[in-house]
Amino acid sequence: MNKIYINVDGVDVEATGQTLQEILDYQAQCKSEADAKEAEAATKAAQRQALLTRLGITEDEARLLLG
């Protein structure tokens, strides 16, 4: 069986049992949060592009208008 070690303040500590499960749960939570942020950013970009298309202007032109 492979052993998994984590580095805590410069010391390698074997991760087993509950500790390993907590690490895996935290990793899954971080990935889920990152995926949600990425999806939100993609949605906002699509909405922004749809608005620019509706207005018939480019992003640079919008910046000039708002800047």
23-56 confidence digits (pLDDT tens): 889 999 999 999 999 999 999 999 999 999 999 9
> Residue ranges of the domains in the chain?
5-66
pTM exceeds 0.85:
no
- Give the model's pLDDT for residue 41: 98
Mean pLDDT of 15-30: 86
Measured over the CA atoms of residue 28, residue 34, residue 35 and residue 40, the dihedral's sign is positive
Measured over the CA atoms of residue 38, residue 41, residue 43 and residue 46, the dihedral's sign is negative
For the cut 70, the answer to whether the pLDDT of residue 1 exceeds it is no
- Give the model's pLDDT for residue 45: 96
